[in-house]
Amino acid sequence: MLRRIIWNGTTDEALVLLHALRENCECSVDNGRTLAICASHTMLVRDQRAVDGLLFMRRMAARLVTEEFEPAEKRPAANAVAV
């Protein structure tokens, strides 16, 4: 059964992901032929939950770092509404 992975992020987020994949690809290639596909590329084409999780954590990372390392008086109020 063929699964279709759907990217739920922006074009810029997709480009960042593809750059990271290119930098960390461990596919086995010989004379332009792919002999073995690495785990990163396998995940990208087979695991919707993992792709969604990467996107979710990318969007959450800045907030989590802020909550952990910025003094409370510099953080936006928890109940503040973004305009």
pLDDT 10s digits, 4-45: 899 999 999 999 999 999 999 999 988 888 889 999 999 999
Can you tell me the distance from the alpha carbon of 60 to that of 62, in angstroms, rounded to the nearest whole number?
A: 6
**pTM score > 0.75 for this model?**
no
**Residue matched to tokens 């593809």:** 18
The alpha carbon torsion through 16, 21, 24, 30 (nearest 10 deg) reads: -140
